[in-house]
Amino acid sequence: MFLAGIDSSASTVEWTMAELLKHPTAMKKLQEEVRNVVGNKPKVEMEDINKMSCLKCVFKETLRLHPVVPLLLPRHTSATVKVGGYVIPSNTTVLINAWAIQREPKWWEKPEEFIPERFENNPINFIGEDFQFIPFGVGRRRCPGLQFRVASVEYMIANLVYCFDWKLADGATADNLDMTEPYGIAVYRKSPLHVRPLARFRTL
160 domain residue, yes or no? yes
Q: What's residue 76's pLDDT?
A: 87
Measured CA to CA, the distance from residue 61 to residue 81 in angstroms comes to 32
41 domain residue, yes or no? yes
| Binding region for heme | 143
Using a CB cutoff of 8 Å and minimum separation of 24, what contacts does 186-191 make? 186/8, 186/11, 186/68, 186/69, 186/70, 187/11, 187/66, 187/67, 187/68, 187/69, 187/70, 187/99, 188/11, 188/14, 189/11, 189/14, 189/15, 189/18
Using a CB cutoff of 8 Å and minimum separation of 24, what contacts does 119-124 make? 119/56, 119/57, 119/60, 119/61, 120/53, 120/57, 124/60
204 domain residue, yes or no? no
Measured CA to CA, the distance from residue 30 to residue 179 in angstroms comes to 21
* Cα-based distances in Å from 204 to 104, 155, 190, 200: 43, 18, 31, 8
Tens of pLDDT, residue by residue, the chain (204 residues): 444 555 678 889 999 999 999 999 999 999 999 999 999 898 999 999 999 999 999 999 999 999 988 888 888 899 999 988 999 999 999 988 999 999 999 999 999 999 999 999 999 998 888 999 999 888 777 777 788 889 999 999 999 999 999 999 988 999 999 999 887 667 788 889 999 999 887 554
Q: What's residue 6's pLDDT?
A: 53
Which domain CATH number covers 194? 1.10.630.10
Residue ranges making up the domain that contains 152: 2-199
| Binding region | 143
Number of domains in the chain: 1
Q: What's residue 33's pLDDT?
A: 98
58 domain residue, yes or no? yes
194 domain residue, yes or no? yes
What is residue 63's three-state secondary structure? helix
